[in-house]
Every structure is written in structure tokens, then in C-alpha cells.
Amino acid sequence: MAFKRIGFCCKWIDHAEQVDGIKPTDDAKKYNTGTTTISWLKRQSTDVAEQKLWDLANQNIDATYKLVEKVSTLDEPLRMVRLSSDILPAYTEPNWSYFWRQPDVIAYAERNFARVGEIARDRNVRLSFHPGQFCVLASESDEIVERSILEFEYHADMARWMGYGSTWHDHGFKINVHLSGKGGPAKFLQTLKRLSPEARNLITIENDEVSNGLDSVLSVAEFCPIVLDIHHHWVKTGEYIDPSNSRVVQCRESWRGVRPGMHYSVSREDLLVDHDPNTRPDLDDLIARGHKKQQLRAHSDFCWNLAVNDWALTFADQWDIQVEAKGKNIASEQLYEQYLSRHR
């Protein structure tokens, strides 16, 4: 994986209007997963509910394969995608988890997830997962930690079926979570020991803008890689951190020779409507004018601020950049085009 990557998260869209939703008749539908709700499953007979879960398993693993196949046709630097967490709905829900433990269901998952991993490795597509915010491995609550371990291991199961996890971040695969929970780094490290070997080989920790910023997550860098989120860091501190900063170097070194991954986003364009796209936003100035950090943390639709993009692209020589934007692949292609324009 010598070449640089700029990737996107979870969904494929064909045009900008699909930021607001993909219609059932849209061609992009085939690249995206479907889901159901626990309340809907509860209202059905067991047979109907199980059939729905089976249909979703077939549909979603197939959509995931098609998404990776689609990404594999892009320019090599764009071959990176975060996979959706809802591929196997209700996998850890106590009333329905039994469905996913059935031998025929497991056999199907093993066989078809393997195809996803094979095409990703054959065509140099870097993959990842990002369990939701409710996956709190450092919670003070033992009950929440137990549920969080189940949720993390669900993602590890899918990664394992794809052929990842036997070695340290093989092919750059990661399962990324926030270091959230009042237990902090100490509780996280306790929980880390309880994860499966594959989960420990794939876990990464990301800094956030609320409780565990860059200095906090660096305290666990000896044990797992740090995903540097430069937008979270900006929202927390106002700093446009430099790639040569010693903390950034520590993050990079935590990957132990694997090309590191980072996250990039920018505050929403409909929040900073009149802001000059050729000027970086100033956090202190925005707060003085009444903006709240909670608003500023939200991800934009597209990579609209050229000056902030240029800052993010200063990391591209040493980091793969995952664009967290509602514009998905279109947003990552915007950043890539700006990179090309600066290097012609």
C-alpha cells in the first residue's frame, strides 16, 4: 500500500442530491445496505422476522461486495471505504442474536464475507469499520462495557470472515472507536485485554472533541494505533495542528509500520454560509460570534473550504485520509481533485 489514499464512509451516492436520501429506484441503492428495527421484528411472527433477517443478510453482504467492487474501479488513491455497521441487523440484540449463531447462517456469512475480503485485497481497497457511539469500552458501567464488547466483537466477526485480524492491522484494516466513557484510558486498557485476538489486532482509538482529546488518547498509543481526527482536534482546541507536531508523530508511530489512517471533516457549509472558502475558520472568532462547539462539530456535506482542505492535504504524504462528510464518495473525490490540482 505504497500509494496515498483518500476515502469515504459507509454509503455510495451517484449525485449530490442523494445526500438527502437514496430512493428505492436509484441505481446507487444496490451499493448500500438496508435495515430493520427491533420494534418491527417484535411485531412479527418468528418465521416472518427470521426471514427478514435472512433477506437482509443476503442483500447487505451482496451490497457490501458491490460497494467494494465499485470502489476498486476508482483511481488507486481513492480505494478506501468504511463499511456500514448495519450489515447484519440485530446481531447483538438479546432477543435476536440467536439467529446469527445458527450454523447455516454462520456458514453463509463466512462464505460470502470471504468474497468481500478477497476482492478488497486483490484490488488494494483499504477497509474499516466504526462501531457507533454507544460502543463505550471505557464506561464505568459494567453492563455497558459488556454490551460494548459484544458490539465490538460483532465487527470483529465480520472482519474475521473477510480474512482480517490474524495479524496486526493486516492490509490496513481497522475497527475504530472513540475513547469514550468516564473510566478513561485505564478502564479502556482493562477492557482491551478482554477482547478476542482478532479484535485486539484491529482496534484503533480516535481522539474526540469533548472528553478525550489528543493528549488523552496518546496515553494508550503503546497498545493500539491512534486515528488522528483533525476536525475533532480543531473543535476542541482551535489548533490547525501540523503534521510535524510531536503528538502527530506519536500517533503515526503507534501504527507500528502500517500506513496510518486519519479522519477529516469540516464544519457545515449551511452553518458558515458567508464564510470565505479560501480562508480557514477561526474557532475563537466563531464562538465570539455566538456559534456553539456542538454545532461546529457537525460534518459538512462536501469539502467546501479550500483553505482547510489544503491544511488536511499536508498530511497526505504520511497518512491515509478518511473524509467524514455527508457527500460520501463525492466529497472524497473533491478532496482528491484538489490534491491533484496542487501537485500538477
pLDDT of the residue at 3: 66
> Rounded to whole angstroms, how far apart are CA atoms 240 and 231?
9
Mean pLDDT of the 205-231 span: 95
Mean pLDDT of the chain: 96
- Which phi and psi (to 5°) does residue 160 adopt? -60, -45
- Mean pLDDT (whole number) for 217-224: 96
pLDDT value of position 290: 95
Question: What is the reported pLDDT for 344?
Answer: 76
| pLDDT for 82 beyond 50 | yes
CA–CA dist 192, 207 (Å, integer):
17
Does the structure show a pLDDT above 50 at 1?
no
Spatial CA neighbour of 239 closest among 292, 269, 282, 208:
282
pLDDT band for 332, please (50, 70, 90 cuts): very high
Within 10 angstroms of residue 289's Cβ, the number of other Cβ atoms is 8
Q: Is the pLDDT of residue 2 over 80?
A: no
User: pLDDT at position 180, please?
Assistant: 86
Q: Which amino acid is at 198?
A: E
Residue found by looking up cell 466483537 in the block: 153
Separation of first and last alpha carbons in the chain: 22
Please give the Cα distance from 209 to 233 (Å, whole number).
6
Residue pLDDT, tens place only, 268-299: 999 999 999 999 999 999 999 999 999 999 99
